[in-house]
Structure 1
Amino acid sequence: MDGTPYLLDGANWAWSSPGSIPHLLLSHLGYTGLSVLVGFVIAFPIGLLIGHTGKGSFLAINAGNAGRSLPTLGLLSLLVVYMSSQGFLPVLIALVVLVIPPILTSTYAGLRSVDPNAVDAARGMGMSSSQVLFRVELPMALPVVFGGVRAAVLQVVATATVAAYVGLSGLGRLLVDGLALNDYGRMVAGAVVVAVLAVVLDLLLGLVQRYVVSPGITGRGLSRARGTRSVAESGAVPEPELVTSKGTS
């Protein structure tokens, strides 16, 4: 049941082997990236519209509830039967359906959580509706929006293994092939690689969020200002005697 021997076997990491872990990892990342991109293109504008206008909120709420209860493997099986295809298209549709709810609901929730006083002040300054949306509401809602994107990525990384059930590549091959061969070490190795990939992607997205979201929104700028002010108020400056002695030594 230990996947360490499989992970430490150099043959499983060889680029020359089509079924090696690097090849499966790249395929898995491809499925994840394309699904999140398509889902984001669909859900983000709808979330902006609903959140900005306040109309159609039931759509965002019901989409979130449906996304949590929808069985991806069952949907994939239904799509394969209905479309008479075992290619990537049924997998893409199933994963996009999984991506849409968290991004849609987080975008809507982020915009609705913006301080109404800030929106009123922006309108009082003569900003148009689109300017209020993209220059006030969206920047202030970015932390919540990023939370939805990160949740969607984690869900897709874990669920993209279903691609192996229709004969495609990806890290799911380690699970499916391991089950077929009674190779539990391979299955454990596949689960470990998927988990590590999810953690790494979440950390990378967190790093991107740190530099994209304004420090004034996250509170980093305020904490720095408070730290600078406290240092200035304490009068903690280098003593002239120490500076002089260092310079003459």
Structure 2
Amino acid sequence: MSGGLWVFVKHQDTPIVKANNRTLSYILLISLLLCFLCSFLFIGRPHPVTCILQQITFGLVFTVALSTVLAKKILVLLAFKSIKSGRTMRWLLASGASNYVIPICTLVQVVICGMWLGLSPRFIDVDTRSEPRHLLIVCNKLSVAAFYCVLGYLGSLALVSFSLSYLVRNLPDAFNEAKFLTFSMLVFCSVWVTFLPVYRGAQGKLMVALEIFSILASSAGLPACIFAPKSYIILIRPDKNSLKHLKNKMDPRRNGHT
């Protein structure tokens, strides 16, 4: 994630970075880096502070990442619909309507996490059932329903973003951001759909290991799907990172002669 951020910042004035909205790309890369780092809160001896931070950090940073992906898809959709649909779409695009997606979606998750903390905050507990011969010090979730509410909201954001892929499926390849975003949501959903049934039957240290694995897998899968192809073009194929190349891909008549 940090490498992708460095590449995008260093080459911020190139066409491929500009075409994919630099600000949203930076927000997404930073939030994914925080997603990766939040896994460290689950490692080591539980502490009252880390138990609480696990709730807040996990819910919020993943919400920012997924809402940024959603904002990117809306932006791509508005950009191309505005060409055909007239003033309304152009006004939405010019007003930066997609930028409100991130704070609104994050605010909803803040409310959910706030209710979770207020009604049933996590605390340090001793687990005597997972390993009868050992006493395990763990962070007790207390309210499993609240945990699933946080996951459910993240899942809904992923599904909405994945559904938008149908509307942008035929966009020109020069702006194949839609294709990469769609595949990233497929990877994210696959990780967490697999996680839930396994997590329900897990206990003790296995539960923590599953949480860490799912966080790392999803936070690594998103940048791999979205930014790895762009980094490849920027670093390995700079000839494709030009206005002339983008115009050729956007113009079907030119494509027919190549």
Q: TM-score, normalised by structure 2?
A: 0.31
Structure number with the higher helix fraction is: 1
Q: TM-score, normalised by structure 1?
A: 0.31
Give the structure with higher Rg (CA): 1
